[in-house]
Amino acid sequence: MKRVEAIIRKSKFNVVQDALHDAGIDFLTYWEVRGQGKAVEERSYHGMLYDTSIIERILISFYCQDQFVDPAIKALLASAKTGEIGDGKVFVSDVEKAVKIRTSEEGAPALN
């Protein structure tokens, strides 16, 4: 069982969601994060310009069985990419256990 974390552009959220759905990922959790990466944005306030390397991103987190990871990454790469700096990253790590609160089921059936 794996945990996949993808940090993507806020504006790409909807397409990514659809792409993941097609790759078999129906369950996910996400929240807004800010990130520091290569992309910078220029803003001004009261006439004062400031470069911010702090940009708004969405972090999508989902847990899935091992065989779904590769299609999901593929879907993510295809849908979240603009080719410009700031597209984000995907990280995969191992998970030991999953429990579904409603039914107390564990393992694979807990994932959906």
Partner 1 sequence: MEELSTNVNDLAASFDSLWVLIAACLVMFMQAGFALVEVGFTRAKNGANILMKNLMDYAVGSLVFWFIGYSLMFGEDVSGFIGKATLFFGDDTMDGLPPYTTLMFQTVFAATAATIVSGAMAERTKFQAYFIYSIVLTLIIYPVSGHWTWGGGWLSELGFIDFAGSTVVHSVGGWAALVGAAMVGPRLGKYVNGKPKAIPGHSLVLGTLGVFILWLGWFGFNPGSQLAAAGTDNAIAVAHIFITTNLAAAAGAVASMTVSWFRYKKPSLSVTLNGALAGLVGITAGCAAVSPGSAVLIGIICGIALVFSLEFFEKVVKIDDPVGAISVHGICGALGTLLVGVFATEGGLINGGGFAQLGIQAIGVLSTAAWVIVTCFIMFKIIQLTIGLRESDRVQEEGLDIYEHGETIYNNM
Ligand X SMILES: Nc1ncnc2c1ncn2[C@@H]1O[C@H](COP(=O)(O)OP(=O)(O)O)[C@@H](O)[C@H]1O
Which residues contribute to the site for ligand X (CB under 6 A)? 7, 27-29, 35-39, 55, 57, 61-63, 85-89, 100-102, 111
Name residues contacting a copy of itself, limited to 69-108 (CB under 8 A). Answer: 73, 76-77, 80-102, 104
Q: How far apart are CA 73 and CA 19, in angstroms?
A: 10
User: Least distance in Å: CB of 44 to partner 1?
Assistant: 4
Which of a copy of itself, partner 1, ligand X, none does residue 45 bind (CB under 5 to 8 Å by kind)? partner 1
End-to-end CA distance of the chain: 13
Q: Residue 7's beta-bridge partner residues?
A: 59, 89
Length of the chain: 112
Count of C-beta atoms within a 10 Å radius of residue 79: 19
SS3 2: strand
Residues that bind a copy of itself (CB under 8 A): 2-3, 6-8, 17, 26-38, 57, 59, 63, 73, 76-77, 80-102, 104, 110-112
Residues that bind partner 1 (CB under 8 A): 9-14, 34, 41-50, 54
